[in-house]
Amino acid sequence: MSHTYKEERTERTKWFLEDRFGMFIHWGLYAIPARGEWVRSVEQISIEDYQVYFDQFNPARYDPRAWAKAAKAAGMKYAVLTAKHHDGFCLFDSKLTDYKSTNTQAGRDLVREFVEAFRAEGLKVGLYYSLIDWYHPNFPAYGDRIHPMRENEAYKRDPSKFGAYLDYMHGQVRELLTDYGKLDIMWFDFSYGDLKGEAWRANELMEMIRSLQPHIIVDNRLEASGEEGGSIYKKDPSFFSGDFASPEQIIPPSGLTDEDGNPIPWEACITLNNNWGYASSDHSYKSARTVIRKLVECVSKNGNLLLNVGPDATGVIPQQSLEILEEVGQWLRLNGESIYGCGQADLPKPDWGRYTRRGDKLYAHLFEESIGPVNLAELAGRIKQARLLSDGSEIFISRPWNAVMYPNDAFINLARPEHFSYPLPDDRNTVVELTLN
């Protein structure tokens, strides 16, 4: 890929690397069985047996403005909603299918209401679109790796008709990029086996995307995953390799770069419990403390966090999710300067937590207390001023008698006398803003 492609990618993703924190929303018919969004595949449910959920779908409490306010209060800057997941159900009024929310009892274009509500709250909007479609008659079924009817010979499909599915898929992407105003993210999911790259007619698809909404950023899942082909990790990524990598349910141990070691934009997508779609029995929620620390970890490695909620069949985000988001938002209201617009500090990870950096501001995220003064390894003489970010109060820079043996290091402490040990004002994460010389 030409050098300009990477320059264009850098330009397109500027806002993304500033915003750092987004909401992922997985919602659809699968909220009724409430066993996660893969329920059709896992339980090999036929379309006929899944139809009951289409017939019943009536999210009377769907209030996208409330969702948007919760995301904004959580400190999230953008949101991505599933417009169509693997089950093929469309949350938008597509002219290319009857399998859509406007034909259910809901009678609403859920995507349109989502983009309007989140824009009204000042958030950027993205749409997730599944390349996989377990409803479409021309999508591979019998013998496929994951299709609900993969073991049912009656669903042997004629491969020559896959092009008809691609026409449908490209047509729907065109609808989303034409009929819903300015979108900020197109989030495709996912390539597997031979279904990758040009098997999706990805060049043609990306040409269309770039012509309809040139500013939009696209994830990397049109391409083969990992090191294959022209993935975003290669020195010469393909035209459809996307603008950001999308590690899932993991935070890359040391950030993400291409094979030349150049940082690439990335966003870790992570569930609040262990399911993307609503799962009523899944109460394994991450604490707000964990979310705060993992957001810091992503930013400390030049990445974003896309944190998922799975609204229930009535259209409501689960209360456990809302409570976690509210607490994260409280922390961000006091400490957001150490997240937004920040990135890697190019310093070794300290024992007590992590660093993030923006220009001459270095943020020390103290996850655990120190005995005596807090050690800033190798930073002797580099720190001009230190303040507790949450309240602006003075933090003391000195090397008291119990630290004199470390001349290359700087030390700070939260109070005086400075050789004492002090509890952290916020044991989830206390942020000290260091101004560098």
249 or 314: CB nearest ligand GLC? 249
Over the chain, what HEC string results?
A: CCHHHHHHHHHHCHHHHHHCEEEEECCCHHHCCCECCCHHHHCCCCHHHHHHHHHHCCCCCCCHHHHHHHHHHCCCCEEEEEEECCCCCECCCCCCCCCEHHHCCCCCCHHHHHHHHHHHCCCEEEEEEECCCCCCCCCCCCCCCCCCCCCCHHHCCCHHHHHHHHHHHHHHHHHHHHHCCCCCEEEEECCECCECHHHHCHHHHHHHHHHHCCCCEEECCCCCCCCCCCCCCCCCCCCCCCCEECCECCCCECECECCCCCECCEEEEEECCCCCCCECCCCCCCCHHHHHHHHHHHHHCCEEEEEEECCCCCCCCCHHHHHHHHHHHHHHHHHHHHCCCCECCCCCCCCCEEEEEECCEEEEEECCCCCCCEEECCCCCCEEEEEECCCCCECEECCCHHHCCCCCCEEEECCCCCCCCCCCCCCCCEEEEEEEC
Q: Output the smallest distance, CB 210 to ligand GLC, in A.
A: 23
Nearest residue (CB) to ligand GLC, 248 versus 327: 248
Residue 37 contacts ligand GLC per CB under 6 A: yes
269 counts as binding ligand GLC under rule CB under 6 A:
yes
Q: Smallest gap, in angstroms, from Cβ of residue 341 to ligand GLC?
A: 25
Q: Is 189 in the site for ligand GLC (CB under 6 A)?
A: yes
- Select 89 or 190, whichever has its Cβ closest to ligand GLC: 190
Q: Which of 16, 190, 240, 244 binds ligand GLC (CB under 6 A)?
A: 190
Q: Taking CB under 6 A as the rule, does residue 276 contact ligand GLC?
A: yes
Query: Mask 123-162, x = binds ligand GLC (CB under 6 A)?
Result: ----------------------------------------
* Closer residue to ligand GLC (CB): 41 or 429: 41
282 binds ligand GLC (CB under 6 A): no
| Chain residues 73-132 in contact with ligand GLC, contact rule CB under 6 A | none
- The count of chain residues that interact with ligand GLC, using the rule CB under 6 A, is 8
The binder of ligand GLC chosen from 248, 337, 369, 409 (CB under 6 A) = 248
Per CB under 6 A, 244 contacts ligand GLC: no
Q: How far is the CB of 187 from ligand GLC (least distance, A)?
A: 8
Q: Does 23 bind ligand GLC (CB under 6 A)?
A: no
Nearer to ligand GLC, 50 or 411 (CB): 50
Give 265 or 373: the residue with its C-beta nearer to ligand GLC.
265
Q: By C-beta, is 88 or 373 nearer to ligand GLC?
A: 88
Nearer to ligand GLC, 37 or 433 (CB): 37
Binding site for ligand GLC (CB under 6 A): 26, 37-38, 189-190, 248, 269, 276
